[in-house]
Structure 1
C-alpha cells in the first residue's frame, strides 16, 4: 500500500529549480537545451549520431531537434547489461505559427496559427503570449528564439455581443483562434523580421522555422501555504526535469547495477509518429549502438533488452473538486500525495502486475508515497509513450506521473511537493 509522506520533502529546492527550468523552456527545443545544460554540469557529454561511439564508462547524450536521449555507462558494465529507462516527452499543446504567418482583417494585424495537440481552446483566450522555437538558417545551422514578452493575444468576444456565452462557448478553430499583435495593414514578412531582430540574425538568412506561442506569465507557487504549483507546460516538462535530476543523481553515485537512461521524446501530443517521437527508431538505435560500442553482438542486444524496464513518466489527473463525478469513485489522486501509478486494462497505459511491483519497489526504497490512478469507465482514457515503447522495443513498461488539474490548459496546476517525490521515485528506479 502507499506509504506516508516524509516531512523532509517540504524542502522546495527541487521545485525551485523546476520553476527555473519551466521558465527557460517555452518550446521542446528549449526544454532539451535546458536539460542538456544540467546534464553537462553533471559530467555528461554530447555525442553526434554521425560519429563513431566508444563504450567507455561515463555519461553521454544525443540531441535530435526536440528529443533527447541520455545514458550513463557504469564501470564494469558489459554489452549484455540491461537498461533502466525513464521515458517522457518535451512537447505540450499550444498554437504554432503557420508557414505564411502575417495575416489580418478589419484593420488588425494578426498571426496565422495552427492548433497543436489536444488544446482546450478557451484557455488561450485573453492571455498575453510570447513566441519561441527555432530558426533554420542558410548553411545548415539553427538558432533558438525566446521572445518572452507580451506580443500576441487571442481576444475573446465581449459578453455584450454573445449573451449566451455562459451557456456554452463555441470556438471555431480556424476563425476564432487567430492572435492579434497590432493595428494597421498586413505586412508580409513582419513577424520573421521581428523574430530575426531578437535572434540577432538577418531575416533573409532564415529559410525555415518551428515557432509557437507561449503564455508569458511565469510559473509560481499558489495558495495560502504555497503548497501548489501553477505553470504552463507541466505536462510534461515536470517529468523531463525529474528524469534529468534522477539520472544526474544516479550518475554521480556511479550508475547503479543497470545502465540508466533518460528518453525525452517530441510529438507525444500528436501521436508520436516522427523521427523524434516514441514511434520512431531513435531510442532503439541509441540502445543498440550503446551495446555495440561496448563490443556487443545482436545476441547481447537481445539479452540486454530482455532485462530492460521502462518507466513512462507523464502527468495524470488529480480529482477535481468541482467535477468529482468525472473520476473513478475508488481512485481519487490528490496533490502532494506522491506520484501516481497509472493503469488501464485496454493498454492505454502499459502497467501490469510486474510493472506495479517494480514501481512499488522504487517508491518504497526511495521512501516516497504513491497513489493509484484509473479512469472512470464512462470516460475515454488518454495514453502515453508507455504502450508505444513497450510494443516497439518489447520491454516491460510502467506508466506513472504526477496528479494535476487543468491538463493541457495554457496553465496547469499540481502539488508543489510532487515534483520532488516523482524525481525521488525515478532515482530509486534508475538505481535498479
Structure 2
C-alpha cells in the first residue's frame, strides 16, 4: 500500500473525513441545482475517489470495513420502516424477471470479454468465473470464487482494483441515466416522476424539496436507531446460526446451498425480519419520524466508502486490461438489461436496479434506490438481489470450467 497523508490506523481522522464529506455532499445536493442533478451520492463517491487517488487517504482501512459491517446493515431497516408492504410483492415479481434477464447480460458479456482478451490476460478462465459470479451477485461472490479457484494473489489484487474502479464508474453512469432526456422518452419512469412531483414551485432544489423539514423528536431518533440495531443484531445471530449448521460450498448439495443462501444470509434475514416487524407492529413504525433521514445519511457515508478503493493509478500500474475486461461485461449487461426491459415494458427504475443488483449486489442496489428516492423499491431489490448470491457461483463455476478447456 502506498504512503498517504492520513494513515490507515488513524481511525478518528478517517471517520471524520468520511462523515464530513458525506455531510458536504448532502448540503451541496440541497443547496445547488447542479449538485441536485448530479446527486449527493455521486458527489460523495467522486470526492472519495479524489481523496484516495491524490494520496490523502489510504485505499484500505478497518474504518471502511466498519462501514460495511455496521453502517450498511443499520441503514437497511431504517429505510424500510415506512415501506408500503402492499406494493412489495408486485414490485418483487417484476424485479425478479428483469434481474434474471439482466444476469443473461452478464453471462453474454463474460463470454465476449473472454474471447476478446484470452490471449492477453493470464488466468482469464478463472477470472471469468470470478467476474461472472461477482457480476450476478456482487462482491460476496467475488470472495467466494477467488478462494475456490486459488488464483494467484497478485492477479486477485489487480482484479479487485479493476472491480472497485469499474463499480465506481458504474454508479456514476447509473445515477446519470435517469436524467438523460433521450432515455426518459423511451422508458416509463413512475418512481422518478413521483419524486419530481414532490418538488415545490419555489427556488428549492429537487433534493431539498423531497427532504423537506419535518417534526422529529428525541424519542423518534432513539426508537428508530434502537429498533434498527435490535433488528440487525437478531438477524445477524439468526443468519450465523443457520449458516453454521447448514452445509454449503462445492461439496454440499444444491438444496443445502440454496437453503444456506436464503436463511444464512444476514441481509435477507434482516429484510425478512423487518417486514415481519412492520406487519405485526404497523402503528409503531408509522409513528417513527426521522428514520428515512437517518438511513439516507448513513447511505451517503456508504457511497463515500465505495469511492475510496477506486485507485486509478494502481489499475494503470497493475493490469489496465482487467479494467477493459470488466468494462465489456458491465457494458453488455447494462445494454441487454435496457433492451430486455424495453421488450417486457419494465420501468427504467426497475431496469437500472436489476443491473445494479447483478453487478454490485443487493446492498449497493438498495443504496442506489435510496439515493434516488425510490423508497418503494428498496425492499424488493434487496429480496430479489439476494438470489444472485445463490445462482452466481454456479454460473461462474460453469464459465470457468468451460473456458479452462479453451486456454
**TM-score category of the 2 structures, normalised to the smaller one:** under 0.3
Please say which structure displays the higher CA radius of gyration. Answer: 1
More helix as a share of residues: 2
**TM superposition score normalised by structure 1:** 0.23
Normalising by structure 2, we get a TM-score of: 0.24
